[in-house]
Amino acid sequence: MFRSRHRFTLLGCVCFWKWKAVRSGETLVETVCLGRPFKLGMLYASFNDSLFPYDGKKTFWTHWNIKKYTTTRENTSINYDVITDDSLSSKLRHLGVKSGHLALNLLSGLVKTTSARSVDYLKDTIVSNRQIRVVLKYQCVTKYKELNMPWFHCFSKACIFSPDQVVATHVVVGVEYGAEAYFVFDKDLGNSEDYQETRRLMESLISYLPDLKEKREH
């Protein structure tokens, strides 16, 4: 028998958000939200991975303008992936954390998230060479919202200043909505069990789980 548990990387109905931001006119940057409440038009400081509160003051546009120039694309997709690599670099890659700066801030607790489960998943590692771990990753994307302002060319400076003169480096112009979860299956090997054979069996069984759902629906 093997133990199983799941870790939702973020809490709430919208769990996995990506955002795109514009700086110096046309430079786009993409990152993961990791529980942070990104919204269109919000300001962001990349040097410490912090968001400016969305209080109607620290933004360039009114709520009316943001709503007027927002377009929504419905784009539902579901993907599964079986992960056998328990290394930190593998976990960061599957979480979508591409920036070493963001990874360091996340692990050190400097990034303020609404859920600590992303960090829990990163820090939860196997404790013995007789332990096998296989992870089933579930990812669902539902829609994409984009801000199409006709005057983005006015951002010619490397930094953007909010009304209270706090420096921001980016403005959010796109958000991808969806959910992401990790189902972690662990097994402690007995004395007579072979590591490679048991691992292949676990991979085979776990990779079959998404097919069971599709067959039940049909």
On average, the pLDDT of the chain sits at: 74
Q: What per-residue confidence (pLDDT) applies to 109?
A: 78
Nearest by Cα to 99 from 145, 150, 48: 48
What tokens were used for 132?
């096998």
pLDDT tier at 164, thresholds 50, 70, 90: low
Q: What per-residue confidence (pLDDT) applies to 132?
A: 92
Q: What per-residue confidence (pLDDT) applies to 125?
A: 86
What pLDDT, in 10s, does the model give residues 62-82? Answer: 788 888 889 999 888 889 999
CB 136, CB 180: distance < 8 Å: no
Backbone angles phi, psi at 48, to 5 degrees: -130, 15
Q: What per-residue confidence (pLDDT) applies to 6?
A: 36
What tokens were used for 201?
């069996």
Tally of domains within the chain: 1
- State the CB neighbour count (10 A cutoff) for residue 177: 19
What tokens were used for 97?
């954390």
What pLDDT, in 10s, does the model give residues 30-45? Answer: 788 877 888 888 888 8
- State the CB neighbour count (10 A cutoff) for residue 69: 17
Q: What per-residue confidence (pLDDT) applies to 201?
A: 93
> With 70 as the cut, is the pLDDT of residue 20 above it?
no
Domain with 169, as residue range(s), is 3-217
Burial letters 206-215, b for 16+ CB under 10 A, else e:
beeebeeeee
pLDDT tier at 4, thresholds 50, 70, 90: very low
Residue 130 falls in which region: left (phi positive, over 0), alpha (psi -120 to 50) or beta: alpha
Backbone angles phi, psi at 15, to 5 degrees: -105, -30
What residues does 77 pair with on adjacent strands?
141
Stronger pLDDT, 113 or 106, i.e. the higher one: 106
What residues does 186 pair with on adjacent strands?
3, 133
C-alpha 42/C-alpha 185 separation (Å) is 38
What tokens were used for 36?
């942070």
